[in-house]
Structure 1
Amino acid sequence: MSATSDDDRANEVLTHAEWATALADGELLGQQCSDCGHETAAPKAACACCGSRSLETVSLPTEGVVYSETTVAVAPAGFEGGYRVAVIDLGEARVLARLEGDAGIGDSVEFVGPLEDGEEPAPLFT
């Protein structure tokens, strides 16, 4: 876990590199719009709902519910096929993640850390 406090995060723009570093440390970070309250699970330059650039970095929950899922049978170059991906509903935000186990739509899942498959980490839920 990083030593950065929630107050320090509110004053900084979340970059992809910071998001990936936090993920590698086992923490899910996202952003919350100061104007409308919308939360997102990946760094953005502006709020997807209202367009505001007033975004605060927040820690996201590590438990959620499978919102949708699919199996990638034909993987992109450099990846093995037959892996599952899912959109995980974390309450106020949703995150695209790798999914292990037999959880399906509507099932509760938990963030277990980063999946480092290639150069970029990805959230892994079971």
Structure 2
Amino acid sequence: MSESLDAYRSDGRLTTNGWRAALEDGVLLGQTCADCEHVTAAPKAACARCGSRDLSTVQLPEEGTVYSVSRIEVAPAGFDAPYHVGLVTLGDARLTARLSDAAEIGDSVSFQDAVTTPEGPAPRFG
């Protein structure tokens, strides 16, 4: 891993705060499992597939493909509707993201920036 990504880790591990800070800096981070090679797009304490705690921080690709998409018509408190969200495949990982425009399954999208939400930053693709 690039030493510049060390700033986003705590005690050698990617944390939610580190993931959010990286996102705000325009960097998409995830984790890969040393045991089963499963890649996730959000920090975890253990691999979701095999339970291993041997996880490494990786930088995810900024280009991806829309795996699923939804238009939110009735938004939770603090959000303005309508807006689009999607599950975006980035290499071997999938990431839930805000979509800047309507998209369809199979569309190519690229990381644009982080959008501020009441829950914290969220990646935006377009």
Alignment of 1:4 onto 2:4: yes
TM-score (norm 1): 0.90
CA displacement 1:3-60 (0-9 Å, x = unmatched): 6257x96x81110000000000000000000111000000111101111011000000
Taking the aligned partners of 1:75 and 1:3, their CA distance within structure 2 comes to 39
Cα distance, 1:119 vs structure 2? 5.0
Taking the aligned partners of 2:54 and 2:88, their CA distance within structure 1 comes to 25
Residues 24, 113 of structure 2: 8 Å contact kept: yes
Cα distance, 1:91 vs structure 2? 1.7
Structure 2: gaps spanning 5 or more residues: none
Residues 63, 111 of structure 2: 8 Å contact kept: yes
Letter in 1 for 2:65: V
Residues 84, 102 of structure 2: 8 Å contact kept: no
Relative to structure 1, is the Cα distance of residues 5 and 27 closer, same or farther in structure 2, using a 3 angstrom cutoff? closer
Q: Cα RMSD over matched residues?
A: 1.9
Aligned to 1:118: 118
Letter in 2 for 1:37: E
TM-score (norm 2): 0.90
Cα distance, 1:118 vs structure 2? 2.8
Q: Size of the alignment, in residue pairs?
A: 123
Relative to structure 1, is the Cα distance of residues 114 and 5 closer, same or farther in structure 2, using a 3 angstrom cutoff? closer
CA displacement 1:100-119 (0-9 Å, x = unmatched): 12321100000011011235
Partner SS, residue 13 of structure 2 = coil
Tell which deviates more after alignment, 48-57 or 97-106: 97-106
Taking the aligned partners of 2:52 and 2:119, their CA distance within structure 1 comes to 31
Structure 1: gaps spanning 5 or more residues: none
Runs of 4+ in structure 1 deviating by more than 2 angstroms, as ranges, are 2-6
Letter in 1 for 2:78: G
1 or 2, which has the higher strand percentage? 2
Give the % identical residues.
55
